Structure 1
Amino acid sequence: MARKEINPWKWQDERSYVQAVEVTNAVSTLYVSGQTAINDEGVSSDADMKTQLVEAISNLEKVIKEAGYESKNIVRLNIYTTSTDELMSCFHVFQNWIQSHNIKQASTVLEVKSLFETLKVELEATVVK
């Protein structure tokens, strides 16, 4: 697999994403459903945004690893949140995770009216090999 990031500007670097990712010669692609702060028993978290973001990241990593992929190969990562303000207050958690795996992904952040039950944040990813 070969990948190329396309960034006509520099400002997106501070926001931990790239404008576009081109992937050629990929062996396979994994489309991951939105991962949230739902525990192993299927119970939705009612914790604060930061706690839910940490759990959503952990669940995303678990699915990616179980499928035999690596987080560093995420090429698209959409974030759905019920409050952009709350998300931005703990966005450093997300940015630290992105940096720790050297992820260079195209992203969109979307504020939505609600998510399932008591959830506040959902991460939807595309990963390649």
Structure 2
Amino acid sequence: MQKKFINPETLPPTFGYSHVVEISNAKRTIYISGQVAINTNGQIVGVGDLATQMQQVFENIKSALETLELQFNDVVKLTFFLTDIPQMAIVRDIRDQYIDTKNPPASSAVAN
């Protein structure tokens, strides 16, 4: 699989995501269900602490990837759902511990 990360000059500057990711020669596509801050014992982690919750979410994603012998640099798209968009900075801080910040996946954030 070949990945090309593109940020056209005709689009706004990015901060921690790529506008476009082109995949070619892909032999398989994998989808991971939405992950929440629940550990392997079925317990909610980090109640009231978004940073701790996001750490658990990314560890869950990491476990799913490792099941298929994949890593975060294989991820081409992330979507975040937040109740408070100013907390996106916390999400980015945790996310950046896992992704390749030089070639970040395409990302979307949805807040209510």
Where on the TM-score scale, by shorter chain, does this alignment land: which range? 0.7 to 0.9
Instruction: Find the residue that maps to 1:64 and give its secondary structure.
Output: helix
Length, aligned pairs only: 109
Q: Within 2, Cα distance between the matches of 1:99 and 1:4? A: 13
| Displacement over 6 Å in runs of 4+ | none
Q: Residue 49 of structure 1 contacts residue 87 of structure 1 at CA under 8 Å; is this kept in 2?
A: no
Percent same amino acid among aligned pairs?
A: 27
- The match for 1:50 is 51
- The match for 2:21 is 21
Higher relative contact order (CA 8 A, sep 6+): 1
Instruction: Find the residue that maps to 2:98 and give its secondary structure.
Output: helix
Q: CA deviation at 1:89?
A: 4.0
Alignment RMSD: 1.9
Q: Within 1, Cα distance between the matches of 2:35 and 2:90? A: 20
- The match for 1:107 is 107
Q: CA deviation at 1:42?
A: 1.3
Which structure has more strand as a fraction of its residues?
1
Larger deviation, residues 23-32 vs 1-10: 1-10
Alignment of 1:1-129 (within 5 A): 1-9=1-9, 11-12=13-14, 15-45=15-45, 46-89=47-90, 91-99=92-100, 103-112=103-112
Instruction: Find the residue that maps to 1:109 and give its secondary structure.
Output: strand
Q: What TM-score results when the alignment is normalised by the length of structure 2?
A: 0.84
Unaligned runs of 5+ in 2: none
